[in-house]
Amino acid sequence: MTNQTAVVTGASSGIGAASARRLAAEGFSVICAARREDRISALAEEIGGRAVACDVTDRAAVARLAEQAGEDVALLINNAGGAVGLEPVADADLDAWQTMYSANVIGAAAVTKAFLPTLIKNEGQVIFVTSTAADGGYEGGAGYCGAKAAERAIVQSMRLELVDQPVRIAEVSPGMVRTEEFSLTRFGGDQEKADKVYAGVDHPLVAEDIADVIGWIATRPPHMNIDRITVRPRAQAAQHKVHRTV
C-alpha cells in the first residue's frame, strides 16, 4: 500500500485517530481530517501524515479537503459523525437530531461525492463507519439509529450504483466501543452518565479494535469487496442484550 493516500474524517480522536495510525502502519500516506486542527496536526506529525481542518457539514470545507488531498487518494474512511442525546421521541431535541443527520448522513455523502471521481480513477475504496444502531431502533435512540440507518442506505445504494466501476464500498458496523469522547459527547459532557454506559461490561471494544478491522479491509486485494462487518464485544449479544457484572 506504499504511496497510496488515505483520507480519514473525524481523525481527531477515537476510532478516527486509531484508524489513521493503523493505516499509516500499513504504508498509507494518511490525511487526517477533523475540525480540531491542533489535534489532527499533532497526529499527522506523529504518523508522518498531513492534517487538513474540515467540518464535514461545511460544503466549502469539504471542497477544500478534496482539493488539498490531491489526485492520489485511493482510500476514504467516512468516520466523522457521532451521537447526541438519548431522549425518547416524545421529548426529542430536534436540534440534536439535525446535528446527527448533518454529520452522519449529509456530511458522509458530501465527502464521498467530493472524492468519488478520484477514488474511481485510482480503483480505490470507501469504508463507512456506521453502527449497530443502524440495525434497528432502541429506546432513546431514534435520532441516532435513524441517522446511522440512513448512512447505511448510502452504502447499499452506492454499491448498486457503482457495480460497473472499479471502486469498492465497505461498511464497518461497531457495537459497544469505549472511547474517550463518544458517550461523553452524547451526554453533553456528563462523565457519570457516560461511564454508566460501560458499567460492569467485561472488556468493551476500544478504538484500536475497530481500526484493526479497517486496516484489514483496506488491504484486501482489489477484486475483494467486504460488504459489511459487524463487530461487538463478546459481552454484547445484541443492541439490547449486554451482560453486566454489576
pTM of the model: 0.94
> Is 198 an active-site residue?
no
pLDDT at 179: 83
List per-residue pLDDT tens for the chain, 246 residues long: 457 999 999 999 999 999 999 999 999 999 999 999 999 999 999 999 999 999 999 999 999 999 999 999 999 999 999 999 899 999 999 999 999 999 999 999 999 999 999 999 999 999 999 999 999 999 999 999 999 999 999 999 999 999 999 999 999 999 999 888 677 677 678 788 878 888 889 899 999 999 999 999 999 999 999 999 999 999 999 988 999 997
Which of 126, 215, 136 lies closest to 175, judged by CA? 136
At 171, which CATH number?
3.40.50.720
Whether residue 1 contacts residue 19, with contact meaning beta carbons closer than 8 Å, is answered with no
pLDDT at 194: 75
Whether residue 68 contacts residue 115, with contact meaning beta carbons closer than 8 Å, is answered with no
pLDDT at 215: 98
pLDDT at 1: 47
Number of domains in the chain: 1
Q: Which three cell numbers mark 150?
A: 440512513
Strand partners, 30: 6
Name 197's Cβ contacts closer than 8 Å, sequence gap at least 6: 176, 178, 183
Q: Where does the chain show beta strands of DSSP type E?
A: 5-9, 29-34, 50-53, 73-78, 125-129, 168-174, 228-231, 236-238, 241-242
pLDDT at 240: 86
Range of the domain at 185: 5-242
